[in-house]
Each structure stands twice: as C-alpha cells, then as structure tokens.
C-alpha cells in the first residue's frame, strides 16, 4: 500500500467522496452508492482513483439497488482514521482535514468529491441551488 502525500489533489477528492458515501470498519474501507445511477462512476472514476492513490485494487460488488466499492486493508483504515480523522464505525462529527481545508485547490477537490456523492443542483425561482445530504452538511467545517 502507498500512503499518499496530504497535498495530493486526488486524496482531497477521495476524502470528499469518503465524507459523502464512505465508511470504515476495523479492516475495511467501503464506499456505497445507487446501482442504477452510479455504477459507471464507480467503475470508471472511483476504482481507478483509489487504485492509483493507494496502490490497492478495490472490489466492486452489487447488492439489491446498491453498488459497493470495498478495500480490505487494515493499513488503509488506520491511515484514514489516524491521519485523516475519519471515524471507524458511525460517521458523526465529520470534518474536512485541516491540511485539505487550508489549501484552496485541495478544498475545491474535497468539495467536488463530496458533491459528486451527496450533492445536487436544482433551479429554484430562476436561481441555482446547491443542496447537500443532511449528514454531509457538518463536514463543511474543518478540524
């Protein structure tokens, strides 16, 4: 496994994805999404991204209406937990890592990853409105 540099723009994007649809347990990093809407995104974008970023080949599987990208690596779980601050178990009190938040390019990439997983754009009374999943909103704050 490769430990990426904190200023890697791909790490910032992938951290945004984790904020939106990712989770950790003791030995596994999991990203989950809607099978009908996100399968191509998982296969063409996320799987190659995490493989390049961590030098670990993820597995993609399907259950009911969901698509899952899984990486079984205790080392990755520890990196994401201890270095990036992602909790093992329930995602509560999430924040963007202070290093990512202090760099405008990294912040933009993290917001892009979060938007790609939990954001939506709609037009309300002739104005564009960005919307976030309620669980993701606190993540816009920093550590």
Q: Which domains does the chain have, with CATH numbers?
A: 9-140 (3.10.28.10)
Question: What is the mean pLDDT of the segment spanning 8-29?
Answer: 94
- Give the tens place of pLDDT for each residue, 46-104: 999 999 999 999 999 999 999 999 999 999 999 999 999 999 998 777 766 677 777 77
Query: What is the pTM (predicted TM-score) of this model?
Result: 0.83
Using CB atoms within 10 Å of the CB of residue 30, give its burial: 0 to 12 exposed, 13 to 18 middle, 19+ buried. middle
Do the Cβ atoms of 21 and 13 come closer than 8 Å?
A: no
């Amino acid at each position: 496994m490769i430990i990426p540099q904190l200023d890697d723009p791909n790490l910032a994007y992938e951290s945004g994805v984790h904020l939106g649809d990712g989770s950790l347990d003791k030995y596994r990093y999991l990203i989950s999404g809607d099978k009908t809407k996100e399968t191509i995104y998982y296969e063409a974008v996320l799987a190659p991204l995490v493989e390049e970023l961590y030098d670990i080949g993820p597995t993609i599987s399907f259950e009911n209406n969901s698509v899952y990208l899984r990486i079984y690596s205790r080392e990755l779980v520890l990196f994401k937990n201890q270095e990036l601050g992602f909790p093992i178990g329930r995602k509560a009190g999430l924040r963007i890592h202070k290093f990512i938040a202090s760099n405008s390019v990294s912040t933009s990439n993290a917001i892009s990853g979060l938007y790609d997983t939990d954001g939506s754009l709609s037009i309300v009374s002739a104005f564009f409105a960005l919307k976030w999943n309620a669980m993701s909103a606190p993540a816009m704050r920093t550590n």
